[in-house]
């Protein structure tokens, strides 16, 4: 029996956070659930919303931790343990203020970049060796204190670009499921909007 793939979008629950930059992970897994016609259910034992799908011959579990960002690892750790998901089949989708809006970057592992959600997941999994897909949300004026920025909503211009980003990132995840990490990285990583490619 092939192990399940787990795709986790990180974010904060609640209507006030729904379209904020920090919820880019939620936005992508919700897009995947829509594309794959997978319905969401609340799983209290994992403190998460989950949706089950079959895609490209793979069993896939989509998840949104409902713990708030900084405790995301509690949900992810519980899901990984219960479903016995190998770490290379756990994909965590996060926002990244160090990438400009319009850029996506899939990696097989690595550091947290100061992202509290990733820090929590790393702590609970006891490893950095799990794939993560970073969705650029940019930062303003090179400020290090960015709480207001990440918890703010995308501007009208950013929202239009975000639609392209989510479409491209969904394609990247399908490539990861079907053809593996290396191909998904080489074909999809980078700037989504062609007008920004000289940057």
Residues with catalytic roles:
22
From CA 132, how far away is CA 119, in angstroms rounded? 12
Question: 56 in the Ramachandran plot: left (φ > 0), alpha (ψ -120 to 50) or beta?
Answer: left
48-55, strands of its sheet edge to edge: 40-43, 48-55, 58-65, 5-9, 90-96, 132-136, 103-107, 190-191
* CB-CB neighbours of 157 under 10 Å: 9
Cβ atoms of residues 90 and 71 within 8 Å: no
SS3 category, 23 = helix
């Amino acid at each position: 029996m092939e192990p399940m793939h787990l795709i986790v979008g990180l974010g904060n629950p609640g209507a006030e956070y729904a379209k904020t930059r920090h919820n880019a992970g939620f936005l992508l897994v919700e897009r995947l659930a829509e594309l794959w016609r997978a319905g969401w259910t609340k799983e209290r034992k994992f403190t998460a919303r989950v949706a089950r799908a079959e895609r490209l011959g793979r069993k896939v579990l989509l998840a949104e931790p409902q713990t708030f960002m900084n405790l995301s690892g509690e949900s992810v750790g519980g899901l990984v343990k219960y479903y016995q998901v190998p770490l290379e089949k756990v994909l965590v989708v996060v926002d990244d203020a160090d990438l400009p809006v319009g850029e996506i970057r899939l990696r097989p592992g690595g550091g947290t970049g100061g992202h509290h959600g990733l820090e929590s997941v790393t702590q609970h999994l006891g490893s950095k060796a799990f794939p993560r897909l970073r969705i650029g949300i940019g930062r303003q004026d090179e400020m290090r204190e960015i709480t207001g920025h990440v918890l703010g909503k995308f501007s009208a211009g950013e929202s239009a670009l975000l639609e392209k980003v989510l479409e491209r990132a969904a394609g990247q995840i399908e490539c990861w499921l079907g053809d593996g990490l290396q191909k998904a990285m080489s074909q999809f990583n980078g700037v989504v909007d062609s007008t920004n490619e000289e940057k």
